[in-house]
A and B are shown apart, each in its own frame.
Chain A
Amino acid sequence: MNRLLPRALMAPAVVTLFLWMIVPLAMTIYFSLVRYNLMQPGEKTFLGLANYEYFVTDPDFGPSVLNTLSLLGSVIAITVVLGVALALLVNEPFPGRGIVRVLLISPFFVMPTANALLWKHMMMNPIYGVLAQVWIFFGAGPVDWLTNHPLLSVILMVAWQWLPFACLIFITSLQSLDRDQMEAAGMDGANPLQKFWFLTLPHLGRPIAVVVMIEMIFLLSVFAEIFTTTGGGPGNESTNLAFLIFKQALMNFDVGVASAGALFAVLLANIAAVFLIRLIGKNLD
C-alpha cells in the first residue's frame, strides 16, 4: 500500500499533464523545422531554421512584437496603478462597501468576446456609442476608436477586464496589512502619504510582482478581443504575436512558420514563468 496507492492516485493527473506539456511542445518544435502547409499535407521537407527566418523577417513580425509589448506594458501599468488606487479607496469601510466590491469585480467574469463587442459597439461606435455621445456632450468630435486607435482600443478593453483581477489581489493583500504598524507610524509623525510610501507600498510589493507576472503570462495570449473587433488591423496595427501566429496557421495555413512563432511566444512566457515559479516555491511550505 505504502508505495503503490499514492502513485496510482497521482498517475492520471501527472500523465495527462505530462502529455499536455510534451506532445504540443515536441510537435511545435518539429513543425517549426519543416515545411508544412495545411493545404498540402504530406509534404514535410526539412527546412532547418528557415521557418524562423521567415517568421522574423515577416514585415508584420516587428510590429507585432512591439504591439505585444505595448499591450502587455500598458495593460500591466494601468491595472497595477489603478488597481492599487482602487484597492486603497475601498479598503476602509464605508456604506455599501460590500456591494461596491462585488460590482468592481464583475468585469473580470465577462467572457472576452462579449467584452470585446460590448466595447466595439456600445461604447466605441463613433456615431451611436456612449463614448461618442460623451465626447459630443463636451463639445469635442467623437473618436473613431477602432479605426484610428486600434491598439489603444484593445488595450482599453483588456485593461478594463483585468483591472478587477488586480484590484481583488490588492484588496486581499491590504487586508493583511498590519494595523498596529500603521498606528505606530502615525505616532512617529508620519502623514498618510508617507505611510503609503514607506509601509503600504512595500507591503504591496509582492502582490504587485505577482500581478505583473500573472498578467504577463496570460496577456501574451490576448486573442479573442483582437479577433472579434479589429482582426489585427487596420493593416497590422493591432496585431500581436498571438494573432500573428493565428494568422500564419489558420489563415495562411503555414503551420511551419506559425510554429516558429509559437516558440517565440513560449520563450517570452518562460521568462516571466521562471520568476513566478520561484516566488510560488517560497510560499509552498
Chain B
Amino acid sequence: MKHLALLVRTVAAWLVTLLLVFPLIWLVLTAFKTELQAIAVPPQLFFTPTLESFREVNLRSDYLHHAANSVITSFVSTLLGLAIAAPAAYSMAFFRTRRTRDILMWMLSTKMMPAVGALVPVYVMAQTAGLLDSRTALIVVFTLSNLPIMVWMLYSGFKDIPPDILEAARMDGASIWGEFTQVIRPLAMGTLASTGLLCLVLAWNEAFWSLNLSSAKAGTLAALIASYSSPEGLFWAKLSAASLMAIAPIVVVGWFSQKQLVQGLTFGAVK
C-alpha cells in the first residue's frame, strides 16, 4: 500500500513538474533547431540538433555588445553594492544600538516601493545628466535596488557568528582588525558569496529599468531579447538560442542560491 502511494506520488510529481517546466524544455529544444524546424507543424520533438541558430545569433554584433552590457552592469553593481552594504551590515551586527533594528527595517522598506514609482524622476534625472542609455545609469539603479537586500542578507550572516567566538579571539589577543580578518571574514565568506550571487541574478534579469533607461548603447540582454518581439522573417530558433544563452547561466546560478532567495526576498519573514 505504501509502495502504491509512493508510486502515485512520484508519477504525479514528475508529471506536474515536466508539465510546468515544459515551456523551458521547449525553449531548449527549439534553440537547437533550424528556423524551419522551429515552426514545423505539428511541433517536432525529435530532430537532429544543430548549432546553426547559436552561430547566427553570435554573429550579430549587437548580441555580444548587449551581453557585455549585461555582464558589466550586473557584476559592477553587485560589487559596488557589496562594498557599500558590507560595512553597514558589519556595523549593525557587531555594534548594535537601540536604533539598529529601526534602521534595518527602514532600509528594507525602501525596497518595497514599486519601481514604477521612481520611473519618472529617475528618467528625468538621467536625461538631465545626459546619462540616458548609459551603463552608468543602469549600474547606479541596479546597485540601489539591490542594496537593501544585500544589507539584510549580510547582516543575517554576520549575526550568525556566535559572539563568544569573537570574545575568545579577543582573549587570545586579537585586535579589532585581527578579529575581522582571522575570524569574521573566513566565517562570513559564504554569506558574502551567496549574497553576491543572488544579487547578480537579480541584476542580470532586471528588465524594468533596462527597458526604460537604455537602448542601443547600454541595453542589456533583457532589452535585446525584448526587441525580438516582432522582427521580420523567421526568428524562433534564433530567439530561443539567444534566450537560452542569456538565461542558462543565471538559471544554474539560481539553483545554487535557493536558500538565499528565500531569505533575501522575503526579508527573513519565512524561516
Does a CB–CB distance below 8 Å link A and B in the complex?
yes
Q: Which residues of A contact B (CB under 8 A)?
A: 5-7, 9-10, 12-14, 16-17, 20-21, 23-25, 27-28, 31, 38, 86, 89-90, 92, 94-97, 100, 102-114, 116-123, 127-128, 130, 133, 137, 160, 163, 165, 168-169, 172-173, 176, 206-207, 210-211, 214, 217-218, 220-221, 223-224, 227-229, 241-242, 245-246, 249-250, 255, 258-259, 262-263, 265-266, 268-270, 272-273, 276-277, 279-281, 283-285
Give complex CA distance A250, B222 in Å.
19
B108: min CB distance to chain A, Å: 6
- CB of A33 to closest CB in B, whole Å: 13
Chain B interface mostly: helix
What 1/0 flags go to B135-166 for Cβ under 8 Å of A? 00000000010011001000000000000000
Once the chains bind, are A117 and B225 in contact (CB under 8 Å)?
A: yes
| Minimal beta-carbon separation of A272 from chain B (angstroms) | 8
Complex Cα spacing A266 to B109, Å: 12
B147 to chain A, nearest CB (A): 6
Please give the distance in Å from B136's CB to the nearest CB on chain A.
15
In the complex the two chains form, is A103's CB within 8 Å of B117's CB? no
For the complex, count residues of B whose C-beta is within 8 A of A: 95
Instruction: Report which of A24, A137, A270 forms a contact with B121, defined as CB distance below 8 A.
Output: A24
B121 / chain A contacts, CB cutoff of 8 Å: 23-25, 27-28, 31, 259
Interface flag for B30 (CB, 8 Å): yes
Measured between alpha carbons, how far is A100 from B26 in the docked complex, in Å? 17
B185 within 8 A of A: no
The 8 closest A-B pairs by CB, nearest first: A109-B254, A13-B88, A27-B121, A224-B207, A6-B95, A9-B91, A9-B87, A273-B112
User: Could you tell me if B223 and A113 are in contact, using CB atoms closer than 8 angstroms?
Assistant: yes
Q: How far is the CB of A245 from chain B (nearest CB, A)?
A: 5
Interface string of B87-127 (1 = CB under 8 A from A): 11011100101000101110111101111111111111101
